[in-house]
Amino acid sequence: DAGVIQSPRHEVTEMGQEVTLRCKPISGHNSLFWYRQTMMRGLELLIYFNNNVPIDDSGMPEDRFSAKMPNASFSTLKIQPSEPRDSAVYFCASSSLTLLDRNSNQPQHFGDGTRLSIL
């Protein structure tokens, strides 16, 4: 079975440019998560969706960041304009978690990430 697929694997761009990261969750999963990993802050949750609806975006650092999930098989994380401090590895994960779950008994499965460098 295909896992979570992220693209691109690496992105290098100049500050001020728009960056779009893409994610295809595991088929049948209805929850999708975006994380960011840096040496300083570790792995942080940015936003998560359930049934294509954003549920918690409290981890999104600022208005330059936006995420969408137009359908169950695709999500994007956009940074506009990008800044050098946005350089990090961005991970997408998916699970079968539903909002009705009082407890999180469904593991998240991660993609291989996008390594983003803003010059």
Partner 1 sequence: DAKTTQPPSMDCAEGRAANLPCNHSTISGNEYVYWYRQIHSQGPQYIIHGLKNNETNEMASLIITEDRKSSTLILPHATLRDTAVYYCIVVRRALTFGSGTRLQVQP
**In contact, 108 and 53? CB cutoff 8 Å:** no
Distance of CA 101 to the CA centre of its chain: 22
CB of 43 to partner 1, least distance (A): 4
List of residues contacting partner 1 (CB under 8 A): 4, 33, 42-45, 48, 56, 91, 93, 97, 101-105, 107-113
Strand bridging mode 42-50 / 53-56: antiparallel
* 16 vs 107 by CB, closer to partner 1: 107
Q: Which is nearer to partner 1, 64 or 109 (CB)?
A: 109
Q: Which is nearer to partner 1, 31 or 82 (CB)?
A: 31
State in angstroms the smallest separation of the CB of 15 from partner 1: 24
φ and ψ at residue 5, rounded to 5 degrees: -115, 125
* Three-class secondary structure of residue 110 per DSSP: strand
